[in-house]
A and B are shown apart, each in its own frame.
Chain A
């Protein structure tokens, strides 16, 4: 009998109940909140559900040594986490993004590329703020990239510059991407007049297949020669797009934008979530990163909208750009472009801005990859 009681007592020590700390419960609650928001509000469910459930997995209290935790070498979770840690997953996601993105909006109106560049100020604004808060330059660079509104890029860069902060940076980037409609709308309204919101842009011209095939090749050569350190992201993005547009690699393109990107998105979300173990995640630094991440989104949206207003000063009547597409310069594809469409139609039901906003939106993807490459060159 004593033996049984002793065994039960020993087993009790193995359970999560005996090892639980309030921090674990807090993180599990955040994970449940993510899942709830994803299901009820449908905010980025493809990201928030894996991340939220990963948070729950990563914060089940246990004692170390069982070789099952994400930070224990050789465990299943640790093996899957290598894709995040070593930066394999982000380029694969970029391959899928390239294979699903239609760059026509950008090719037909190349001037919109510059809005994508302006919105990258969010990255560098957050970098300056992080430096002011005492972060080391490499950490500040990794935090700044949250402003690119691009989860894979944020993971890629933070895995190179500040692996210790990767969990907080990735969760912050994906959370704010899910909150793009909430964050951007008030800023767009505050910075534009009613007259500006009613600007109608001319229909984009038709883009030939030849242009669409040449775009990834020329685009890659130019950006990669300027910023070779962005090669993994830029290379995969443009390669995926060439698969899509070449017309002769349909199977490859379908795999890249379908099963491949689904598998990688699931794994990246789950492992990033699981990496937020309370003891490593719930720190003052993480809270600060969340604050800076929010500011970076605000700065990116603000600079995007203001840049369009500035640009309009030099454009003739009839060629002016609706500043409501300025927010789309951040690369949260296609959410920020969708925000432009929704806000635009609030003021003119027949003014469809989606196709115009997709231009700066996909330019933002290229811009954030270029910015990540620059930060890696200087700080890596």
Chain B
């Protein structure tokens, strides 16, 4: 009972960890602008300020509510993203912008700190302790320029910070968006489909051949080595004594208790055939009952008529 409880608790804890892991850790700070110039975007109040862009690299929606943004390693809970705002849900492969105005009371998408060149911006998980991602803002970052992260692998979503300052691209995914789909790539590289066919056929054969090999190695080979004809257990009635249905039924029930319903059915059928004289065994008054370790398929095979070879 105690072990069961421990297992249940561990399972719940594991599930909670997994749920946490699937969400917030998929967020990155994809771009930061410290000091806007006169051409930068304006916030909802008409002002210009620095901003922080968050990108969700996962394939599921992530809730930023309850997470924190900060520029202070020693104060990870500096600027809270409100939990209650449903707009804090970030869709897959989407970005969200936070204005670093220094006044968090302006709304959900405003932080209570401003971005200083030379500082580091942190995105902190909703536990207030785990740093999900960070980005260093170079001290010499020119006004109106941003520091960005680019994915060098669009499938795995591995990001690297650009070495040089970049032109700001708020609310836009960084890097080229003209990534061709797999199908488009195949249409270009394999217009007739031969390469894919050869590769795919090889993989199908390999997968099933490996399966074959494993089962041959694990079961068929040892089974062949072990295969030696065993004498079937024989239940004999005393010679000369007439078959007694009650005795036969008792044997069947005893077997059933030991071996389950399948045996019961087989014995019932054997008795039925025997008592109705539909079959005749090698000797009179002998019923052969062989416990079947075999599968259903094998059982069926045994009912087929066997011809002499």
- B253 CB to closest chain A CB (Å) equals 22
The answer, yes or no, to whether A117 is at the interface (CB within 8 Å) is yes
Of the four ranges (under 10, 10 to 19, 20 to 34, 35 or more), the interface on chain B belongs to 35 or more
B186-228 vs A, CB cutoff 8 Å, 1 = contact: the mask equals 1100111110110111011111111110111011100100010
Residues of A close to B295: CB separation below 8 A: 102, 104, 108, 206-207, 212
Given contacts A127-B197, A207-B295, A223-B211, A161 and B183 within 8 Å (CB-CB) = yes
Closest Cβ of chain A to B306, distance in Å, is 9
When the two chains form their complex, are residues B182 and A117 in contact, meaning their CB atoms are under 8 A apart?
no
The answer to whether B212 touches A370, judged by C-beta atoms less than 8 angstroms apart, is no
Q: Which of A202-250 contact B (CB under 8 A)?
A: 203-208, 211-212, 214-215, 218-219, 222-223, 226-227
A26 vs B197: C-alpha distance when bound (angstroms): 37
- Chain A 96-138 interface residues, beta-carbon cutoff 8 Å to B: 102, 104-105, 107-111, 113-114, 116-118, 120-121, 124, 127-128, 131-132, 136-138
Which of B45-53, B111-119, B129-137, B296-304 contacts its partner?
B296-304
- What separation, in Å, do the CA atoms of A377 and B204 have in the docked complex? 13
B5 close to chain A: CB less than 8 A: no
User: Is B293 in contact with chain A by the CB < 8 A criterion?
Assistant: yes
Residues of B within 8 Å of A114, CB to CB, are 205, 208-209, 212
Q: Are B293 and A208 in contact (CB under 8 A)?
A: yes
What's the Cα separation between A222 and B207 when bound, in Å? Answer: 7
Query: Whole-angstrom distance between the alpha carbons of A204 and B215 in the complex?
Result: 14
Given contacts A137-B186, A137-B196, A378-B196, are A227 and B297 in contact (CB under 8 A)? no
Any B CB within 8 A of the CB of A380 = yes
In the assembly, what is the distance between CA of A359 and CA of B301, in Å? 14
Residues of chain A with a CB closer than 8 A to B3's CB: none
CB-based contact A128/B186 at 8 Å: no
Given contacts A211-B219, A218-B214, contact A352 B304 (CB under 8 A): yes
Contact A355 B207 (CB under 8 A): no
- Please, how many angstroms separate the alpha-carbon atoms of A370 and B148 in the complex? 40
Residues on A with C-beta less than 8 A from B187 are 136-137
Query: Hey, which chain A residues are within 8 Å of B307, CB to CB?
Result: 350
Q: How far is the CA of A107 from the CA of B212 in the complex (A)?
A: 9
Question: Which residues of B lie under 8 Å from residue A358 when comparing CB positions?
Answer: 297
Bound state CA distance, A113 and B205, in angstroms? 9
A169 contacts chain B at the CB level, 8 A cutoff = no
Are A218 and B204 CB-contacts (below 8 A) given A114-B209, A223-B211, A378-B196? no
A204:B200 contact, CB within 8 angstroms: no
Q: Name the B residues within 8 Å of A102 (CB-CB).
A: 295-297
- Tell whether, in the assembled complex, residue B293 and residue A206 are in contact, meaning their CB atoms are under 8 Å apart: yes
Chain B interface main SS type: helix
Q: Mark B275-309, 1 if CB is under 8 A from A, else 0.
A: 00000000000000000111111101100110100
Chain B proximity of A158: nearest CB distance (Å): 13
Cα of A314 to Cα of B194 in the assembled complex, Å: 28
Contact residues, A134-183 vs B (CB, 8 A): 136-138, 140-141, 161
Whether A371 sits at the interface, judged by CB under 8 Å, is: yes
Q: State the CA gap A223–B181 with chains docked (Å).
A: 25
- State whether B209 touches A117 (Cβ < 8 A): yes
Determine how close the nearest CB of chain B comes to the CB of A107; give it in whole angstroms: 6
Q: A374 vs B293: C-alpha distance in the bound complex, in angstroms?
A: 38
Q: Is A47 an interface residue when CB atoms closer than 8 A count as contact?
A: no
Contact of B193 among A140, A363, A370 (CB under 8 A): A140
- B214 proximity list for chain A (CB < 8 A): 218, 222
A343 within 8 A of B: no
- Closest A residue to B296 by CB, please name it: A102
9 residue pairs A–B, Cβ–Cβ below 8 Å = A107-B219, A110-B215, A110-B219, A118-B205, A127-B196, A218-B211, A226-B210, A366-B211, A378-B186
Q: Contact residues of A with B, CB < 8 Å? A: 102, 104-105, 107-111, 113-114, 116-118, 120-121, 124, 127-128, 131-132, 136-138, 140-141, 161, 203-208, 211-212, 214-215, 218-219, 222-223, 226-227, 350, 352, 355, 358, 363, 366-367, 370-371, 374-375, 377-380
Known: A117-B205, A205-B227. 5 other contacts (CB 8 A): A138-B183, A207-B297, A367-B208, A379-B182, A380-B182
Q: Give the 5 A-B CB pairs with smallest separation, nearest first.
A: A206-B294, A104-B295, A138-B183, A131-B193, A110-B215
